[in-house]
């Protein structure tokens, strides 16, 4: 500051009016392209959420995002007794009117139940409830109970028309665990865009959504977790710009019992974890909800079926998987 004062002091009078605007321009140009960056963490849906926003209104945008996230928790949580989905699952009437958010997410999920003929099934809830992966000593549920629960699993007994949801059977329950996080990150990205911000990064329990770029010439850099390795150990990174990067694998929510790995992706015909073709798939695309669903669906149905499904459904996504040698490979859409 001393130098500045001295410079100003030494300047001949007439130059002063020129100098001030010139300095202001210099200051403004220097700040351009590096909009203030602000990040906030929170806990929702039994997972950690981090949103980073590059904007002069970062605090306000983050406030609105976290408020919205609280609202979504009160819609999609299967455990929160005050949530809409909990009320749906513990209903007394078999026909209900549900919110737009729940209807949209459920509708997209039901499409994939249909496309996979029930190998992916949103009514898996009674079975998934028996598997407590967070327990201090997780245990394999008794076969009899799994069989009982399986008899309640059938997406064809759920009918959604607009906002009207009806059930054929009173003990059918819905689990949107494979779609809700994707739905939420997609809607948060929209919200951030609507608030006039073009640069943000959402990380919702391992689902990553990039809004715009990190800075003028730089995409967001998203690491892919290496399966069965220390958190933060990466198998690769991808550049992301206005897309989501969603990884799902058998290394998350799992336990080992009797030398066997039990993971959270369940087989709708047995109630046990399904035999997956890879430890992890990563789906990249513009529709987070779709990508989230496809990540789980792909683990269940296998490589060839995934290729076929993506071709036939015309889903605009790219899918990567970890092959037997631990390499990160793009799925050939021919399914070969």
Partner 1 sequence: MKKGDIILISAILVLAAAVLLLSGRSADGARLVVTVDGELFGSYSLGEDREIRIGSSNICVIRDGEVSMSEADCPDRVCVRSKPIRREGETIVCLPNRVILSITGEDGVDAPDAIAG
Does 18 bind partner 1 (CB under 8 A)? Our answer is yes
What is the smallest separation between the CB atom of 90 and partner 1, expressed in angstroms?
26
Give 58's contacts (C-beta < 8 A, 6+ positions apart): 36, 37, 38
Minimum separation from the CB atom of position 224 to partner 1 (A): 6
- The rounded distance, in Å, linking the Cα atoms of 280 and 271 is 20
| Closest listed residue to residue 87, CA positions, set 105, 70, 75 | 75
Q: Segment 180-219, which members bind partner 1 (CB under 8 A)?
A: 201, 203, 206-208, 214
CA geometry: angle at 254 spanning 227 and 231, to 5°?
40
Residue 26 binds to partner 1 (criterion: CB under 8 A): yes
Q: Which is nearer to partner 1, 6 or 311 (CB)?
A: 6
User: Contact, 102 vs 75, CB < 8 A?
Assistant: yes
| Cα maximum dimension of the chain | 93
User: 143-163 b/e with 16+ CB inside 10 Å = b?
Assistant: eeebeebbebbbbeebeeeee
Count of residues in the chain: 336
Q: Is 223 in the site for partner 1 (CB under 8 A)?
A: yes
| 20 is an interface residue for partner 1 by CB under 8 A | no
Of 8-16, 96-104, 269-277, 304-312, the segment contacting partner 1 by CB under 8 A is: 8-16
d(CA 117, CA 156): 10
Other Cβ atoms closer than 10 A to 84: 18
Report the candidate in 286, 283, 290, 280 with the shortest Cα–Cα distance to residue 333: 283
Using rule CB under 8 A, residue 15 touches partner 1 = yes
Q: Is 298 in the site for partner 1 (CB under 8 A)?
A: no
Contact flags string 59-98 toward partner 1, x per CB under 8 A: ----------------------------------------
Q: How far is CA 90 from the centre of its chain?
A: 26
Nearer CB in complex with partner 1: 3/92:
3
Which of 3, 97 has the CB closer to partner 1?
3
- Residue range at the interface with partner 1 (CB under 8 A); choices 37-45, 67-75, 94-102, 171-179: 37-45
| Alpha-carbon span 211 to 267, nearest angstrom | 34
31 is a contact residue toward partner 1 (CB under 8 A): yes
- In whole angstroms, how large is the CA radius of gyration of the chain? 24
Beta bridge partners of 236: 224
Site map (CB under 8 A) of partner 1, residues 248-287, x = contact = xx--x---------------------------x-x-----
Considering only 4, 90, 161, 259, the residue that binds partner 1 (CB under 8 A) is 4
Of 30, 93, 194, 217, the one binding partner 1 (CB under 8 A) is 30
Q: Can you give the binding site for partner 1, defined by CB under 8 A?
A: 3-4, 7-8, 10-12, 14-15, 18-19, 22-23, 26-27, 29-31, 34, 39, 41-43, 46-48, 50, 52, 134, 136, 201, 203, 206-208, 214, 220-225, 227, 230-234, 237, 245-249, 252, 280, 282
């Amino acid at each position: 500051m001393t130098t500045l004062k001295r410079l100003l002091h030494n300047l001949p009078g007439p130059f002063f009016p020129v100098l001030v605007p010139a300095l202001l321009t210099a200051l403004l140009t220097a700040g351009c392209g590096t909009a203030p960056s602000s990040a906030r963490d929170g806990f929702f849906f039994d997972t950690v959420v981090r949103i980073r926003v590059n904007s002069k209104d970062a605090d306000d945008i983050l406030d609105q995002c976290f408020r919205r996230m609280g609202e979504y928790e009160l819609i999609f949580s299967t455990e929160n007794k005050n949530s809409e989905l909990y009320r749906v699952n513990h209903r007394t009437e078999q026909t209900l009117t549900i919110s737009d958010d729940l209807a949209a997410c459920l509708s997209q999920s039901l499409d994939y139940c249909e496309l996979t003929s029930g190998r992916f099934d949103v009514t898996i809830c009674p079975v998934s409830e028996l598997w407590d992966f967070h327990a201090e000593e997780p245990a394999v549920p008794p076969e009899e109970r799994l069989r009982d629960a399986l008899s309640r699993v059938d997406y064809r007994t759920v009918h959604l028309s607009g906002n009207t949801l009806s059930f054929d059977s009173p003990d059918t329950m819905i689990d949107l665990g494979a779609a809700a996080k994707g739905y939420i990150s997609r809607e948060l990205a929209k919200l951030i865009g609507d608030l006039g911000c073009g640069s943000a990064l959402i990380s919702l329990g391992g689902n990553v959504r990039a809004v715009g770029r990190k800075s003028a010439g730089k995409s967001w850099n998203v690491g892919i977790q290496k399966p069965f390795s220390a958190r933060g150990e990466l198998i690769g990174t991808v550049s992301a710009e206005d897309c989501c990067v969603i990884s799902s694998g058998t290394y998350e929510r799992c336990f080992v019992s009797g030398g066997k790995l039990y993971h959270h992706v369940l087989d709708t015909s047995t109630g046990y974890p399904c035999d997956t073709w890879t430890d992890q798939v990563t789906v990249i695309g513009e529709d987070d909800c779709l990508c989230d669903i496809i990540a789980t669906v792909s683990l269940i149905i296998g490589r060839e079926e995934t290729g076929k499904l993506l071709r036939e459904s015309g889903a605009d996504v790219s899918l990567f998987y970890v092959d037997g040698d631990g390499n990160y490979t793009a799925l050939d859409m021919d399914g070969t």
